[in-house]
Structure 1
Amino acid sequence: MMGDLGVEEELSSKDAFKQYVMVKKDRKVICPTQCLNPPANMPSVWHITDIVRQEKLANLSSLSRCLLRRSPENSHQEKEWGEFLGFLQKHKKVATGKDECFQFFILPPKEGSGFSCTFAYYRERGKPSECPVGKASGSTSHLIEDACSPYSEEAVVGAQTCNLSAKASERPEKTNQHNLVRANPSFLTTLAHTHSGWIFGAIAEFVDNSRDAKATKLEVSIDMIFSRATGREIPMLCIIDDGCGMNHQEMLRMVSFGHNQPDVDDPNRIGRFGIGFKTGAMKLGKDALVLTQTSNSRSIAFLSQTLNEGKDNLEIPIVSYYRYGQFMELDKQNETLFKHNLKAIKEFSPFDKYLIGQKVGLFSREGTGTHIYIWNLDEWGSNYSLQWESGITGGSSFHQGDIFIRSRRVRARPGQMTQTVPLDYSLRSYLEVIFLDPRIKIYVQGSQVKSRPLARSLSKTVVENCTIMGKSVQLTLGCNQLEWEQANCGIFLYWHGRLIEAYKRVGSMMHNGDKGRGVIGVIDVTDLMADDNGHVWVHNNKQGFQDCEAYAELETWLGEKSDKYLDEHVDKVELKASSGVYKPDNEWVQCDKCRKWRMLSHGFNSKTLPLQWFCYMKPFNGKCEIPEQEVEPGVITVSSKRQGYSFSADPQEIKGKLSRQAVGTSKNMGGNVSSHTVDDDQANDYLERRKKLRRSCRKS
């Protein structure tokens, strides 16, 4: 039993061993504390089960004693500790609790001594081997938070001490304690395999998070930054948005290893599985720093393979502040933990306090958003998997910056023969079509991505509606000149308005590489790919759908409708690549303010539009409040014919037109080839039929 020392003498003892103890009541945290001179087998969490009057405990002086000193992580815990000791002091009561190997009694502080610390008596019950190992593991509700807190590490030490003190010859006693899982740092490498097939899927995870955060602007770029570890500049991927940001709990949720999936499929959110940030970041690079700000908080998180190299348990430093008037105060942490986490960030990353301050300065005074910085990027041989170009300021669209996959490999698709699929290796091309209804402004390497809503850029458009397994679906089919030139075709499948599968060949497209060339379908399958229990049939990397009955039925229906469209609207017309193009039924432009799409008037040259266009400009000349026009469903639209032409099929008239066209052919070779119309197709059909007639059958 320790001597009857005063509080001041015990606090000044430098040799006293300290262990962190979490004091709880009714499963709620009162305050973390430091225990001076604790017993060897003391649990790291004290659960108060009863509060009794002090005079009923007359024999406490015969027990061992230790000192509890508050160590709050935030102002709320500090307040709770003061109110707890104040209650004990006012009513002269003692807080007690016990488990199978330990019993404690927390005394009220003496009058005038303050509420920073107090004495506690304890009784060790039974042999050390009888102490359940699980009792020393502390709270298990937040494993990542435990791994970042100082008392969790000592809790593990306490558990090992309790376990090793048992004699080897003794038979281990049975226990009903649960097995708790801690993550090894090598698990970060395993997470990266989620996007091993296509690295742009990792970037798409961050785009999804930005859209879920209601961001209006997203910037993706690769910049060079000086690394103290290598002594040279290294590339760093920067992903910056102006969304709503995250507070401490939301940040903790993001870096935690999964969470309960929602019971209801929210149509306004893409993120669902709780692994997007971690799988995306660890595929793109070994280290990632997240800087986020809400209207009243700011947080920094560091997910790093470099920091955790050689460790047994994963550590994720988090530094959080909350706004208090004009100042930022520490949130959810004490100063010791704050310094430890900040030191780890500065030691194992290119960021020091000045660079962090510079990045924080990118937020306006009331601004919100999230910045993600990733370095030690994924490698491809002796180089990096990603290749980037900065582009030319003020140049044309052909000189804009872009980020490429270095291999330029095309993803495998059944029936596909072409190797020209920019969407597979150009980030700019992928982000042009990533959203069914694009609203967010996206920048790649400093230049804005021009969104390409596929359903609005088709010609000979047909809209098909159907009910599959009780769920309504709508398919838009049409022809696209760009896809025809690149020998592409297929269906674009969107889920929650985000592209999941591109160029999916169905029906006869799968058996003939050139069948359906230039034909594109667009469909949103959000409702169909969800059951009534909130489960969704989408892979957790959001790059494909699971094999299920709904998907099989969808494939069959898509094949039937695509083949029908080819028979009725494509195969009947012999379109020549050298003389005609698929001109969109209508041309559209997006306002840079309200992000609504406006249909251009017939005959207006879209190439004359400025890079930044607003609703008040020509040819719309309207206001942003005007509702957006929609593509008319079920209507087949053909490009307008040239002036002076009719749909007459009289052979002599067609023959006369052909002779007049022959005169001006050489003059018009450099003109706009989009003038090819239905009249030209009829003329070509007539000539083909004439060529096939036998000489004896022709008119003399």
Structure 2
Amino acid sequence: MAQYSGLSRAQLTFDYLHTNSTTHEFLFGALAELVDNARDAGATKIHVYTVPKREVRGGYLLCFLDDGEGMDPGEAASVIQFGKSSKRAVDSQMIGQYGNGLKSGSMRIGKDFILFTKKRNTKSIVFLSRTFHQEEKIEEVIVPLPSWDMDTNRPIAKSAKQQEKYLTEIDIITKYSPFKSEKEIHEQFDKIDGESGTLVIIYHMMLLDNGEPELDVTTNSVDILMANVDKEDDSVPPEKRSFRAYTAVLYIEPRMKIYINGSKVCTRRLASCLYKPKMYKYSSNRFKTRSEKEAAKAYHEAQMAEEKARDAESKARDLQNKVGPVAPKDQRVALRQAQAQAEMLRNDADIKKEVAETKKRSLKEPKVLNFVFGMNIEQRKLDGMFIYNCSRLIRMYECVGPQTEGGVNCSGVLGFVDVPYLVLEPTHNKQNFADAKEYRHLLRAMGEYLNQYWKDIGIVQQGVTKFWENFGYLSTNWKDDPSEDPKFKRKRAMQLPLTIQCDQCLKWRTLPFSASNINKEFPETWNCTMNPDTQRNRCSAAEVKQNIPQGFLKKETKTAEEKSQKLLDDIARKSKELEKLQHVKTVTSRQQVNTLVRSTRPEPAKSPATSISARKSVSKPTPRLDLPPPVRQAAMRRPSQDTSAQQRRASIEERAPPQRTKSTPSSHRRDSIEASPQRQATKTSPVKRQSSAPTPTSTRADSSRRETKATPPPPKAKPPSPKPEPKTYPAKKLPPRPLPKEPAVLQVQRKVRVRKKSLQRRGGQAPLLLLQRYQRLKRRKRSWRSWRTGYLKMGHLRMGWMKTRKILERRLKLRLTGTGTVERLLPPAQKVQVQSDGRSSSTSIQGTSMTNGTA
């Protein structure tokens, strides 16, 4: 480490070299940094080529050779200072602004680079190698910077210490670079034609996981390709897989010839590649971040200049007071120098103050941008926006407006805009913009103008499909290429101007249309003398700018009536949404669901002629126990519309003969289990039983039907518990109520329904849900224990097992046996076994309970 104490240092740690290189996620963006440096140096051409070299990692050297201004030893020394740049200026059109592109770009491509440059009879080398730091285990960044005189090839080292430093630098370069002698080093300078230029050589390339270099230089001899991009993936545009295609659109106004492996790149002006281009001027006050930074910087510089001018003026006045009228000559000379210095600093302070005020006033001025849109009829699948900054491509194929929706609306439209530094500032890697908020505002604005352009060209009126078919897009697949039929190729060529750049003066010339130029490959050395246009067939002729028609954004103006109508429509729509939200209620338990259903259930129609006792006996229909609660409630609320089926069912029930049992031959009267009028009206399958006395709670509807049928009066029998008959009143016959689509499986006694409200207060729908769950389990042939265990898991019932059992026995007159059956408690002399379909299978007087084996 001591032997390198006299060498130049970058004042950074070695780890920063790798960290700085990771800013380039897009590998072609790292290569473009070196092309940008050549353009900023005023180069007219740059050669990007590879040299096979098996000794280095990757197997080749990547070289960038330009004919720019080059660098002298002092400028070369500033290269190793990260963040220092002499290109920063408000009105500068240079791309580099951060002093970081060479280091970050080259370190992203490979581990080491060596730079050869010539300027003003001097030639210098800048050697930055991570391999050198790793082998020598050096933490600081050491950069050898040897220089020579161009005429004598002697090192520029006057003192002995400088000579010793030169020898150390040459030893490092010959040891860790591909050039092992001083002679080979000087041979690289000979590759730079002319008196100035720069050659950058990158080696020890970055590799993929499979050991291959990231850049593929063998597949295409005149191109550099991405090695990790799928060739069959149509979603990847050619600019992201081919460096030749990327450099063709890298600059909005190409003024530099680019060669890749000796083949010239055919650069493109996007405006000349579009069908029906239109330009829209956009002005906005939203882009203030960059302007505010510049204004603050100018204000600070003006303050510093003012302080320097005051200090110089104070020194001049003090010296004038000390020097008398008869002062020596040297004092008078010093006084005049001090006064001249003070005057110069005062002028500089006034200029900077004026610049600061101008920038402050410019904050309120709107920034104007030019949006250009056109149809890409050559490749319609390649659409989107190209965003340039100071003529350099930053973002490409950005979808805006309707293009983000993925439909045919605005598809195939290509647009571009050149944004100056004063409006938006790019990031260090020149692949995005620093202010994301203002950049999103720019994209939204381009989306609005894109909609206007789509309306202006009138493709919708013609038909989008028909428009593309006219240019050879006959396939329904949007990503398919156009037809190569000669008539379609001719039609596309007639609609696009043919522009070529002169190889000598670098001016763009537009050639007149000719059928012979279709698919014609022009020579790389094409110049103005080959132009068939006699007015533009010499380099001295001025370049003709492309005439792009200007469009205007037409904002929709609505009358007062239209605005009021739209307001009323919005109010009506909001009112409907609010009304829907008011009917929505959040429930957290089963009990709240039952309460909500009861509150929304419609009340049955009341007749004024109906008896009071009949009206009191009307209750809500019993839920079907064979259906889950939501379906059961829907069946209760859903009336049947098939009236003919109801009438047929009623007539069949009227003609059905009464069933007699073998155990009670003396009993010939048919009766039904006590039920509500609503259940009778729906004509569900009744549960039949034998009784020696009529039911004391018969309804008016049942009595009216018996009178109509002229049924003979039953024999008198002493009821077990006589009750007074309620008074009835005559009423006209009501039409039968609609029946549910499916009959109920189990009917519950009327007194149970009368007490339903009190039962719900105690346990909600717990008993009915219990029966329903038991019926499902019994149908699946599961045991009583599994039913009881399953019931205990029903936490939403909020009642214990014993409490539910008591409710079943006391309220519903049902008893659960140990064998898994349900018994219905009846008077001592009556017992009926009920099946699952609601029909009585047998009648007996031998017990005091009714067994329902299937519930």
One fold, TM greater than 0.5? yes
TM-score, length-scaled by structure 1: 0.59
Alpha-carbon distance, 1:571 to partner? 3.1
- Pick aligned residue for 1:369 from 197, 200, 208: 197
Alpha-carbon distance, 1:260 to partner? 6.3
Q: After superposition, where does 1:9-88 map in structure 2 within 5 Å?
A: none
Pair 1:560 & 2:455 matched: no
- Pick aligned residue for 1:571 from 460, 466, 469: 460
**Residues 7 and 142 in structure 2, CA contact (< 8 A), matched pair in contact too:** no
* Aligned residue type for 2:96: G
What's 1:529 paired with? 423
**Residues 434 and 499 in structure 1, CA contact (< 8 A), matched pair in contact too:** yes
Distance, in Å, in 2 between the alignment partners of 1:520 and 1:544 is 19
1:111-158 Cα deviation digits (max 9, x unpaired): xxxxxxxxxxxxxxxxxxxxxxxxxxxxxxxxxxxx9652899xxxxx
**Residues 285 and 375 in structure 1, CA contact (< 8 A), matched pair in contact too:** yes
**Residues 124 and 146 in structure 2, CA contact (< 8 A), matched pair in contact too:** yes
Alpha-carbon distance, 1:302 to partner? 0.8
- Pick aligned residue for 1:628 from 537, 540, 543: 543
**Unmatched tracts of structure 2, length 5 or more:** 286-365, 475-482, 552-855
Q: After superposition, where does 1:278-297 map in structure 2 within 5 Å?
A: 278-297=103-122
Higher helix share: 2
* Aligned residue type for 2:545: E
Pair 1:408 & 2:236 matched: no
Q: After superposition, where does 1:320-331 map in structure 2 within 5 Å?
A: 320-323=147-150, 326=152, 328-330=154-156
Alpha-carbon distance, 1:582 to partner? 4.7
Cα gap change, 1:543/1:513 in structure 2, threshold over 3 Å: closer, same or farther? Answer: farther
How many equivalent residue pairs?
Answer: 437
What's 1:551 paired with? 439
Q: After superposition, where does 1:404-483 map in structure 2 within 5 Å?
A: 404-408=225-229, 418-469=234-285, 470-483=366-379
* Aligned residue type for 2:533: F
* Aligned residue type for 2:80: V
What's 2:100 paired with? 275
**Residues 529 and 551 in structure 1, CA contact (< 8 A), matched pair in contact too:** no
Alpha-carbon distance, 1:372 to partner? 0.6
1:193-235 Cα deviation digits (max 9, x unpaired): 011x2111110100100001111111112221252x78xx821
Structure label with greater radius of gyration? 2
Alpha-carbon distance, 1:358 to partner? 1.8
What's 1:187 paired with? 16
**Residues 223 and 242 in structure 2, CA contact (< 8 A), matched pair in contact too:** yes
Distance, in Å, in 2 between the alignment partners of 1:315 and 1:618 is 53
- Pick aligned residue for 2:128 from 303, 306, 310: 303
What's 1:58 paired with? none
Greater Cα shift, 239-248 or 513-522 = 513-522
User: Residue 372 of structure 1: SS of its match in structure 2?
Assistant: strand
Higher strand share: 1
What's 1:50 paired with? none
Distance, in Å, in 1 between the alignment partners of 2:423 and 2:400 is 18
Cα gap change, 1:421/1:465 in structure 2, threshold over 3 Å: closer, same or farther? Answer: same
Cα gap change, 1:225/1:303 in structure 2, threshold over 3 Å: closer, same or farther? Answer: same
What's 1:315 paired with? 142
* Aligned residue type for 1:479: M
* Aligned residue type for 2:148: Y
User: Residue 290 of structure 1: SS of its match in structure 2?
Assistant: strand
**Residues 466 and 472 in structure 1, CA contact (< 8 A), matched pair in contact too:** yes
What's 2:663 paired with? none
What's 1:336 paired with? 164
Alpha-carbon distance, 1:627 to partner? 1.0
Alpha-carbon distance, 1:547 to partner? 2.7
Distance, in Å, in 1 between the alignment partners of 2:85 and 2:502 is 39
Q: After superposition, where does 1:610-649 map in structure 2 within 5 Å?
A: 610-621=523-534, 622-634=537-549
**Residues 409 and 424 in structure 1, CA contact (< 8 A), matched pair in contact too:** no
Distance, in Å, in 2 between the alignment partners of 1:590 and 1:604 is 20
Greater Cα shift, 200-209 or 314-323 = 314-323
Alpha-carbon distance, 1:468 to partner? 2.2
**Residues 8 and 145 in structure 2, CA contact (< 8 A), matched pair in contact too:** no
**Residues 148 and 316 in structure 1, CA contact (< 8 A), matched pair in contact too:** no
What's 2:6 paired with? 150
Distance, in Å, in 2 between the alignment partners of 1:330 and 1:387 is 40
**Residues 424 and 430 in structure 1, CA contact (< 8 A), matched pair in contact too:** yes
- Pick aligned residue for 2:184 from 355, 359, 367: 355
**Residues 492 and 523 in structure 1, CA contact (< 8 A), matched pair in contact too:** yes
Distance, in Å, in 1 between the alignment partners of 2:492 and 2:281 is 24
Distance, in Å, in 2 between the alignment partners of 1:442 and 1:601 is 26
Cα gap change, 1:260/1:214 in structure 2, threshold over 3 Å: closer, same or farther? Answer: closer
Distance, in Å, in 2 between the alignment partners of 1:260 and 1:211 is 15
User: Residue 133 of structure 2: SS of its match in structure 1?
Assistant: coil
1:506-556 Cα deviation digits (max 9, x unpaired): 1011121654332111211115525xxxxxx21110111123554333222
What's 2:386 paired with? 492
User: Residue 236 of structure 1: SS of its match in structure 2?
Assistant: strand
Distance, in Å, in 2 between the alignment partners of 1:301 and 1:211 is 20
Cα gap change, 1:151/1:519 in structure 2, threshold over 3 Å: closer, same or farther? Answer: closer
1:76-101 Cα deviation digits (max 9, x unpaired): xxxxxxxxxxxxxxxxxxxxxxxxxx
Distance, in Å, in 2 between the alignment partners of 1:151 and 1:561 is 57
Distance, in Å, in 1 between the alignment partners of 2:178 and 2:87 is 37
* Aligned residue type for 1:360: F
Q: After superposition, where does 1:66-215 map in structure 2 within 5 Å?
A: 149-150=5-6, 182-195=11-24, 197-215=25-43
**Residues 528 and 550 in structure 1, CA contact (< 8 A), matched pair in contact too:** no
User: Residue 401 of structure 1: SS of its match in structure 2?
Assistant: coil
Identity of aligned residues (%): 29
Alpha-carbon distance, 1:600 to partner? 1.0
Pair 1:236 & 2:125 matched: no
**Residues 223 and 244 in structure 2, CA contact (< 8 A), matched pair in contact too:** yes
* Aligned residue type for 1:539: T
Pair 1:387 & 2:216 matched: yes
User: Residue 488 of structure 1: SS of its match in structure 2?
Assistant: coil
Distance, in Å, in 2 between the alignment partners of 1:528 and 1:555 is 17
Distance, in Å, in 1 between the alignment partners of 2:4 and 2:37 is 24
Alpha-carbon distance, 1:471 to partner? 1.5
Distance, in Å, in 2 between the alignment partners of 1:226 and 1:315 is 27
**Unmatched tracts of structure 1, length 5 or more:** 1-19, 21-146, 154-180, 392-399, 411-416, 531-536, 637-700
1:249-283 Cα deviation digits (max 9, x unpaired): 21111122222686623433111111101100110
